[in-house]
Amino acid sequence: MLQTWRSLTFLHWAYEPTVIRRLLPKGLELETFDGAAWIGLTPFLLVNLRPPLIPALPWVSHFPEMNVRTYVRGRDGKPGIWFFTLEADRLLAVLGARTLYRLPYRWARMRVREDDGLVNYESDRLTPFGNGRARIVIRPGVRMQAGQFDNFLTARYRLYTQAGKRLGHADIEHEPWPLRGAEVVRLDQDVIEHSTVPKPMGKPVAHFSREVHVRIGLRSWEGQA
């Protein structure tokens, strides 16, 4: 699938590794940085969603998303992302991703808007996908040179998934993130704690990126060609 991610914010909190490790499926190894596991909350606007050679359709291909994630390595040592939830504002996208990629998508009423230099994110999960609400306001900062820690949190080019006891993955391609620092103006959320992860503590590490163009490969299950 081809898509573009716009107005994307990364919010990350440090966790005790033993707390997060027990939430992972067998076969994935938790990655840490400075002795901590990291949980990310990542809202953004997805546009131009389409298969190759097919034009994007109006409305269906343009909607907000938000995910809760941590960072892992698979059995082959490849680094990637493990998602605890992915919220999306299009039910068709939710059902499609749950079916094709076996990812834990949930339907939510969402909005992303920019006013006076601020980026506003709103999300409310819809029935029957449980509770989970977010109100986030970010002030993007200046362009930054990504260091080792910034890349650990953001430069991830594989997603992992699971069906039954089988692990699967899909590879992700995009240009390097054009990262900016970010100031958190407002943060009111309970999506993380309604996604099997304990409530975060303290202020998050914040990054912002204006836009990247993305290609997500086909899902591959372990043991398959």
Q: Whole-model pTM above 0.85? A: yes
Which residue range forms the structural domain that includes residue 89?
Answer: 2-217
Residues of the chain short of pLDDT 70, as ranges, are 223-225
Asked if residue 122 belongs to a domain, the reply is yes
CA distance 194 to 196: 6
Structure confidence by residue, pLDDT tens digits, 20-40: 999 999 999 999 999 999 999
pLDDT of residue 151: 97
pLDDT of residue 35: 97
Asked if residue 30 belongs to a domain, the reply is yes
Which H or E run contains 220? Answer: strand 220-221
pLDDT of residue 225: 36
The CATH number of the domain where 160 resides is what?
2.40.400.10
Asked if residue 95 belongs to a domain, the reply is yes
Asked if residue 225 belongs to a domain, the reply is no
Asked if residue 179 belongs to a domain, the reply is yes
Asked if residue 224 belongs to a domain, the reply is no
Tokens coding 3:
């898509």
Number of domains in the chain: 1
Instruction: Say how many CA atoms lie within 13 Å of 142 toward its Cβ.
Output: 2
Least Cα distance to 181 among 202, 204, 209 occurs for 209
pLDDT of residue 224: 46
